[in-house]
Amino acid sequence: MSTDASFLTAEDLEFLRRPLHGFLSVAGGPLPPQPLPVWFEATAEGTIQLFTGPDTLKVRRLHSDPRASIVVAAPVGERERWLSVTGRTTVEPDGAHDLAARLAARYWDLGDSVRAADLAAIQAEAQVRLVIHPENVRRYQH
């Protein structure tokens, strides 16, 4: 069943708090869009945030057209489920390094020295936080 709404439900937020990959598409890109896999965090306020370098192509495109979407699906072996969130996206100069640390701990074993070094490299670079403000939420759960 697919339903549409303009907000994330408590059940959506629970699903999005799992260490799943999202596939981000931004407006202003090639047609058809070319989604990129990303780490993300669903906030208590019902937004979706991720981090990236300030000079990336997606940030330049978002400055021209702030629309973006993210699709998250359950992994193979689970019952079919997906969530698609589209909306206006803001580029925030603060909080990206803290977000990167939280997400790295969620997706990686930071006790592994290679992964810890990977996180240190991310945090040594300039980062911005992208925040998707949901305007349309579609979901499917079987």
22-38: per-residue pLDDT in tens?
A: 999 999 877 788 899 99
Residue 6 has pLDDT above 60, yes or no: yes
pLDDT at 119: 97
pTM (global) more than 0.85: yes
pLDDT at 2: 64
Fold type of domain 2-141: Pnp Oxidase; Chain A (2.30.110)
CB atoms within 10 A of CB 39: 18
pLDDT at 42: 97
Q: Write out pLDDT tens, residues 50-60.
A: 999 999 999 99
CB atoms within 10 A of CB 30: 6
What DSSP line would sit under the chain, residue for residue?
-EEEESS--HHHHHHHTSS--EEEEETTS-SS---EEE--EE-TTS-EEEEE-TTSHHHHHHHH--EEEEEEEPPTTSPPEEEEEEEEEEEESSSHHHHHHHHHHHHS-TTSHHHHHHHHHHHHS--EEEEEEEEEEEEEE-
Question: How far is residue 93 CA from its own chain's centroid?
Answer: 16
